[in-house]
Amino acid sequence: MSEIRFPLPDVGEGLTEAEIVQWKVAPGDRIALDQVFVEIETAKSLVELPSAYEGVVAELLVDEGSTVDVGTPILVIQTDASSGMNAGAPAAPAGAAAPAPAADAAELVADTAASIAGDEGGAVLVGHGASGPALSRRRRHPVADGAHAHLGDAHVPPAPPTAPAVEAAPVAASAPRPSVESQIPVIAKPPIRKLAKDLGVDLSRVTPTGPIGDITRDDVIREATQASVFRNIQTPELPEGRETRIPVKGVRKAIASAMVQSAFTAPHVSVFADVDATRTMEFVKRLKASPDFAGVKVSPLLIMAKAMIWAVRRNPTVNAQWTDEEIIVKHFVNLGIAAATPRGLIVPNVKDAQNMSMVELAAALEQLTLTAREGKTQPAEMQHGTITITNIGVFGMDTGTPILNPGEVAIVALGTIKQKPWVVDGEVRPRYVTTIGGSFDHRVVDGDVASRFLADVAAIIEEPALLLE
């Protein structure tokens, strides 16, 4: 038996400290290899740490809510040399009979029940995605050669006949008949159930759109968004006490430092443009109906992202970085998407977005957004961005003056898209109109370049067919 003192690792580039948010184990618990044992918050994101050892938790060295430096021991694990990856699994008793094969329908019910039961206990490890839909099939049970040779002469009793319906016990007239809806099970994978729990969504109220009648992430997000609208209508009472004090640490501390650094080191200049987005809305509608985009979320943000990439090619200096000695123009686009999360603003980015097709970019944006809302964005996903979009239209805002993401020289805000009176061919017509606004580092981007870049973005929003050139 030996003791291992597990140190807090560096989960990102250059991070020096992290806060212990929640322990997933307690002293005396047995911990398995790769089991998530603690949730920490760095200056950039919330991270789950998997164990590199298996054994028994001897001691938790740091309290929840404490901030510790990288390399500080946080956990003591007792291990023994003979323990392996499956040491904790009980061995099957010798000579135990193999279970009889189950019917496919029974296995499907069992698989669904196992998925539901795994909601509380199963954890998705960092860097490991949830598996796809489980396929139900008849299990095969290996047997030794000749083990069932004697069964050829054995008498196999026939299955008992089904009792006639008339012999069934009559149902009491006063007993309520269960509704059809109450008999339909909720089919959702454990990660989807966890997401619903975090967002306060009742899965029984969600309409499933999955291929096998299962609830998807989009279904949960949609229900949460609709519910939040009604929650926002209610005005809560003022809390007790005269004030609330919120410690400045973790993500909030990092946001404050980055915004102050950006605002007071890069001279910002902003430009704005009103845009007729009617053709973009029509294009989005056609993409949603296309079989190529089945199962992928399509929104005006996708067209905006493509417009940004196209405009960068025509105005490369907006995709650059300023240093005191030189301006570094990037020949790739790591497209950042500013995301509002329960823990604050983060800006993950889509790596090498310039090489992606429309479908690939749509899938990447969807995954980025869902990961951010779940609080699972990793530090590497927020590094090395080159230009950023902030979609303030989802909050009903027309426009704004965004602050540059540190290390970048351009950011564009997409406002809400709504019908307004618009002059077309000398006539006033209802059109879908939006306002886009851009902020630029004036040390790198001159006013004419900023204006041309934003005009190019506006041109795509007005006519997405330009993307075909």
Name the one residue in this structure whose structure tokens are 């109450």: 182
67: helix, strand or coil: strand
Residue closest to 389 by CA, chosen among 416, 410, 361: 410
Contact status, residue 272 vs residue 437, Cβ threshold 8 Å: yes
Task: Render the burial of 93-107: b for 16+ CB within 10 Å, e for the rest.
Answer: eeeeeeeeeeeeeeb
Task: Render the burial of 192-230: b for 16+ CB within 10 Å, e for the rest.
Answer: bbbbbeebebebeebebebeeebbbbebbbebbeeeeee
If you ran DSSP here, which 8-state letter would residue 393 be given?
A: G
If you ran DSSP here, which 8-state letter would residue 271 be given?
A: E
CA distance 138 to 126: 32
Q: Which of 268, 331, 384, 442 is catalytic?
A: 442
Q: Kindly list the distances between the CA atom of residue 314 and the CA atoms of 7, 390, 453, 469, in Å, as whole numbers in the listed order.
A: 49, 21, 8, 13
CA distance 189 to 107: 16
12 contacts: CB under 8 Å, gap ≥ 6: 42, 44, 378, 379, 380, 383
If you ran DSSP here, which 8-state letter would residue 361 be given?
A: H
Contact status, residue 341 vs residue 372, Cβ threshold 8 Å: yes
Contact status, residue 406 vs residue 258, Cβ threshold 8 Å: yes
Residue closest to 249 by CA, chosen among 74, 46, 405, 42: 42
Task: Render the burial of 62-89: b for 16+ CB within 10 Å, e for the rest.
Answer: beeeebbebeeebbbbbbeeebeeeeee
125 contacts: CB under 8 Å, gap ≥ 6: 34, 36, 48, 50
442 noted as active-site residue: yes
Positions marked catalytic:
442
